[in-house]
Amino acid sequence: MISNKNNKSKILRICLSNSLICIGVLITTTAFRSKDPGTNSTADKPKIVNIVNFIRLLEPRDPNITEDVLYQTVVKQVALMKKYHLGGTFLLQYDALMDKRYQTLLAGLPKGSFEIGAWWEIPQPLVENAGLKWRGRYPWDWRANIGFSTGYTQQERIKLIDVYMKDFKKIFGYYPKSVGSWFIDAYSLNYMYQKYHIVASCNCKDQYGTDGYTLWGGYWNQAYYPSKLNSYMPAQNAVNQIPVPIFRMLGSDPIRQYGDAPGKQRQGVITLEPVYPHAGGDSTWVAWFFNEFVNGASTNFAYTQAGQENSFTWDAMEKGLTLQFPLIEKLRDEKKVRVETLEASGRWFKEHFKVTPPTSVTINNDLPGSNDKTVWFDSRYYRANLLWENENLRFRDIHLFNEKFRSKYETQVATSNECSFFTLPVVDGYLWSTPDEPAGLKFKAIVNGQETLLEGGIPVITDGTAGKLLVSWPLKGDNGTLKIEFTEKQIQISVAGNKHLDWFLDLTSNAQITLPFTTVTGNHLNARFEGMAYSVNATKGTFSTPGNNVQFRLKPTQNQIVLNL
């Protein structure tokens, strides 16, 4: 992401930033047919990867990173993509858009496989050409109230967009179809759609505090249609959504990124970005990531993007990109992935899904030395994450989505150098944890009169039924098999093969952390977050508060729990 290239990374503790160049690849084995969410056959679940490189003109934080160094980085990116016959998307910040060298370089790319679009950070020339006063420390200032649309009024956002689009069309002869940024407010996104007919967008991965940008609890990875009131919040109904799919950038490690540095103000970065030597710059990690990407259950489709913004320079990204690109080419040639532009992915998404579809991200086998496994499930109503660790299982995360949850940045101007976007928490295994006490909704049972964590073997995760993700976890000690079924609106949990097992789920967290729950009564879990009241209804199962650092207990009814989300 944005942080300086001299920062170092580790798989379990990666310090820093938001770097970005995106890679777009789509894996498919069959022709696509237009359909509503949840109607894909098992043979029609594409895996999508976009190569998206975004471009800044200058880097004020390091005098050694000159404009020429940044330009030559893009020249070498283009050359490497051509070497491996990989197309992709280049997104231009306004200052780079106005530079003749970038205009000439990108205009010469083959139109069928390369795309030129907009990178929506706000530099000084764009502000001044829109008739506004520049407030930044440098000609490009990455603070949320300076370098992003959140720092400007709605009328100022319109002026900035109009100037960019006018100059882009003057240079390339058309308006950009893809616009990306770490975050774009919904007002700007909707204006770009209505007036300039953009078809795709991309935003930052889920992260807490990195570079001062918090995006937490959203549609994890993949892509979604945003609410007209909140660009980070998936909409539940077509009438209330902006019909521009937003693809999540950077290719997060599905196991380690979420839980990095609990209790700290800033998460690290554990992603496909090639500058991180123990993640996207490591051959073992890259091979593992793409193997799980290709083979894991994805429900409707899978998506990832790789790459790096030119701010990190070629020296920092060369090794990682030369590891990744040959592998992506190989997967594409084997017809396991399809490499395409962000625009093409956006058009495909809109042709196939009228509203945000259910998807999943599955890790069946972890990196060497670990037996952890995880699965993320997303729909337009909620997201959930299961983590298997040390033969135990817990819900590490559940967040609800509500299109009426308004972002303050839609009508207000950001006044801080940081920004934050949230959804509605039910389980938060990061913010409610400490390094010594991980929070989560844990699977337990009473065995021989003692409360104990359930233990089990290798889970089986399948997406063979349209619109459903099925998890089957064989329990130890002849305790049967735990079954979990995820659908658009519900999570259903039961135990097969042992109807006498006294099992339940306990939410535990650090006692010093204030949680959003207001009342826990019978079939209802009620909460309030950021001024919005919300609830979870158990049509089967009951909530209680047993104490002893258990925030709530969820017990089955007739061996079954059904949560309406």
Q: Which domains, and CATH codes, for the chain? A: 21-363 (3.20.20.510)
Q: Which residue has the higher pLDDT, 504 or 477?
A: 504
* DSSP secondary structure of 110-122: -TTTEEEEEE---
Count Cβ atoms below 10 Å from residue 320 Cβ, excluding itself. Answer: 26
CA angle at residue 463 from 399 to 253, to 5 degrees? 55
pTM over 0.85: yes
CB atoms within 10 A of CB 328: 24
The pLDDT assigned to 356 comes to: 98
In angstroms, the CA 202 to CA 218 distance is 13
Indicate if the pLDDT at residue 167 is higher than 60. yes
**Residue with more model confidence, 20 or 176:** 176
Side-chain half-sphere exposure of 314, counting CA atoms within 13 A: 15
Worst-scoring range by mean pLDDT, 36-45, 51-60, 82-91, 272-281? Answer: 36-45
pLDDT in tens, 411-428: 889 888 888 999 999 999
In sequence order, what are the residues at sequence separation of 6 or more whose Cβ sits closer than 8 angstroms to the Cβ of residue 66?
none
Name the DSSP letter for residue 413. Answer: -
Tokens for 557, please give them: 């009814």
Per-residue model confidence as pLDDT tens digits over 450-472: 999 999 999 999 998 888 999 99
Between CA 528 and CA 540 the distance in angstroms is 23
**Are residues 6 and 32 in contact, defined by beta-carbon separation less than 8 angstroms?**
no
Does 16 score more than 50 pLDDT? Answer: no
**Average pLDDT over every residue of 525-547:** 95
Q: How far apart are CA 429 and CA 427, in angstroms?
A: 6
**Residue at 291: amino acid letter:** N
The average pLDDT across 126-155 equals: 96
Give the integer Cα–Cα distance in Å for 561 and 411: 40
DSSP 50-91: EEEEEE-S--TT-TTS-HHHHHHHHHHHHHHHHHTT--EEEE
Residue with tokens 């989505």: 401
User: What is the arithmetic mean of pLDDT over 481-495?
Assistant: 97
pLDDT digits 0-9 by tens, 313-325 = 999 999 999 999 9
Q: Are 207 and 213 in contact (CB under 8 A)?
A: yes
Read out DSSP for 360-409?
EEEESS-STT---EEEEEE-SSEEEEEEEETTEEEEEEEEE--TT---GG
Residue burial 14-40, b: 16+ Cβ < 10 Å; e: rest: bbbbbbbbbbbbbbbeeeeeebebbeb
User: What's the confidence (pLDDT) of residue 277?
Assistant: 94
Question: What is the distance between the alpha carbons of residues 267 and 104, in angstroms, rounded to a whole number?
Answer: 38
Can you tell me the distance from the alpha carbon of 88 to that of 501, in angstroms, rounded to the nearest whole number? Answer: 53
Model confidence at 1, in pLDDT bands (50, 70, 90)? Answer: low
- What are the residues whose beta carbons fall under 8 Å from the beta carbon of 302, sequence distance 6 or more? 27, 45, 46, 47, 48, 222, 293, 296, 359, 361
Per-chain mean pLDDT for the chain: 91
**Does the pLDDT of residue 215 top 60, yes or no?**
yes
- The beta strand positions in 463-531, using DSSP E, are 469-474, 481-486, 490-496, 502-508, 517-521, 524-529
What is the pLDDT averaged over residues 401-410?
94
